[in-house]
Amino acid sequence: MPADGVQRTSTPDAAASTPNDDTAPTHAPGFAANVAFPRGVRSFVVRAGRTTTGQARALAELGPRYVLPYDAATTDLVAACADAAGAGGQKYTQTVLEIGFGMGQATAHIAALRPDTLFIGCEVHEPGVGALLKLLGEQQLANVRILQHDAVQVLQDMVAPASLHGVHIFFPDPWHKKRHHKRRLIQPRLVRLLAERLAPGGYLHCATDWEPYAEQMLQVLAAEPLLTNTATGYAPKPDYRPETKFERRGLKLGHGVWDLVFRRNDVPVADAPPLVAGADSLSDQ
């Protein structure tokens, strides 16, 4: 179940990224092939989705204000977004990146609670981008910026080290079948990249409703020397993360939801042991 309680598919090149041996995932975002991630596997499937009239209007009218283009020449996305969002004089004390915001309900909810924080959301699903833009317009929220692009490339190319105060990854696709575990977003290489982009004291908050994935997340996060768990295992749900109607329904039926909150510790990046070849195979155990 995604954070917003809806099935998440994505837009443009379905044929290029849809697995041949299984149906497309119902969750979201962000892991693509590039030189630092040699597995050559995406954790999301880009598929055509229906954009409503309201979403299309929001994309056309509000996109120029809130949506920023992917640009590898922009090496400090946080500063660029802060400049864009703070054009009216607003200064933001923190910046949080969200990977895969689905239909944007959680993003808008948290942004409204924390007006002094700038939220940068990465989502490849165009109807989801339109849905969040619609919410931003309705609620007159200024502290959100969006990139409709693969989050890993954004992190690698556009986010400066130690520039983020938080990262949200809510209900990424669990890729249930073992042969697809390599497609899961939470892998050692990505976690190391996230840790390097977090400022000391910054946090990484993941949530999932699939227990085997929660166990793998905990294993991978606990193994990262740049991060420290804020709990002895799974964390209580932070008050800022909204509980969707689908989540409430699942909880009534006895289904679980697991939150994990880790903080960037004071270990210098240079002191962290390098990841060994095949590190991402942790997820296949």
Residue positions forming the annotated binding site: 98, 123, 150, 173, 177, 209, 244-247
Q: Which segments are annotated as binding site for S-adenosyl-L-methionine? A: 98, 123, 150, 173
Q: Cα separation of 44 and 84, whole Å?
A: 28
> What are the φ/ψ torsions at residue 119 (nearest 5 degrees)?
-110, 130
Element (H, E) at 53: helix 53-66
What are the distances in angstroms from CA 136 to CA 97, 109, 139, 222? 16, 10, 5, 35
Type of residue at 88? G
Burial class (CB in 10 A: 0-12, 13-18, 19+), 270: exposed
Residues tagged active-site: 173
How many CB atoms neighbour CB 12 within 10 A? 13
Residues, the chain, total?
285
Q: Which segments are annotated as binding site for substrate? A: 177, 209, 244-247
Between CA 101 and CA 130, with CA 84 as vertex, the angle to 5 degrees is: 35
> What are the φ/ψ torsions at residue 111 (nearest 5 degrees)?
-60, -35
Burial class (CB in 10 A: 0-12, 13-18, 19+), 229: middle
